[in-house]
Amino acid sequence: MAKVFITGSADGLGRMAAQLLVKQGHSVVLHGRDEARARDALKAVPGAHTALSGNLSDIKETVNLAEKANRLGHFDAVIHNAAIGYREPKRSANADGLPEVFAVNSLAPYILTCLIDKPHRLIYLSSGLHRQSAGGLDDLDWKKRKWDGYTAYADSKVHDVILAFAVARKWKDVYANALEPGWVATKMGGPSAPDSLEDAPKTQAWLAVSNDPGALVTGKYFYHMQQSPFNPIAKDVQAQDKFLLECQRFSGITFPQ
């Protein structure tokens, strides 16, 4: 039995992955952005161990969430699932002055990776849209560029792959991988999304707990349990280091060596 923490598991793919893992007999800790959402998560996933709350658009709350997670003991795997979409007509800043899509999708996974006691496996959810990003590493907080929600989202999803591959390079004792679940009919994906919703949570669950040789790898990118092409910027060591340093600058948290 593995112990797995899944961010953003009150609904959507996070909840589906949690349900799948609980059905397989694993101990799952859920997450919602506030207490009400955490309660909703527990109701939706009978058999889950517990649910934690924390608003990932807020740096202090994200730090507090990591502390709550650590109080529950060591995790075998953490699935960084939480994300917000790209339909923001203007730059929506959080309490820290950062665009919310960057704060939730990019910076929060960095903070939690740094502060949650190192698990055996780390899984980061990206999107096929990440291939359309140039990285946006020179203006992560969108203070120079004209706001474009679609590009901001695509940037955030390449950041998740960059982070996964940076972790794989720096932490040799951890399996760190990224994946795209496909364009599926979740709240974010919309009702006309063409990919299989049933298959969408399987890869992250598989990477979190499976002893299949295909899952026991690191620094890889997956789609439906198969390694898949990714934006080459993610393997660029200079891009990785720059992203880590920028996240350190915004959060005040240094990546543990």
Q: Is 153 marked active-site?
A: yes
Q: Is 157 marked active-site?
A: yes
Query: Any residues with CB less than 8 A from the CB of 256 and at least 6 apart, and which?
Result: 114, 118
The DSSP element (H or E) to which 51 belongs, if any, is strand 50-53
Catalytic residue among 157, 175, 221, 223: 157
Query: Any residues with CB less than 8 A from the CB of 26 and at least 6 apart, and which?
Result: 1, 2, 3, 4, 209
Q: What is the DSSP letter of 115?
A: H
Catalytic residue among 153, 175, 221, 223: 153
Burial of 52 per CB tally in 10 Å (0-12, 13-18, 19+): buried
Residues 4 and 29: beta-carbon distance below 8 Å: yes
Task: List, by residue number, the catalytic residues.
Answer: 153, 157
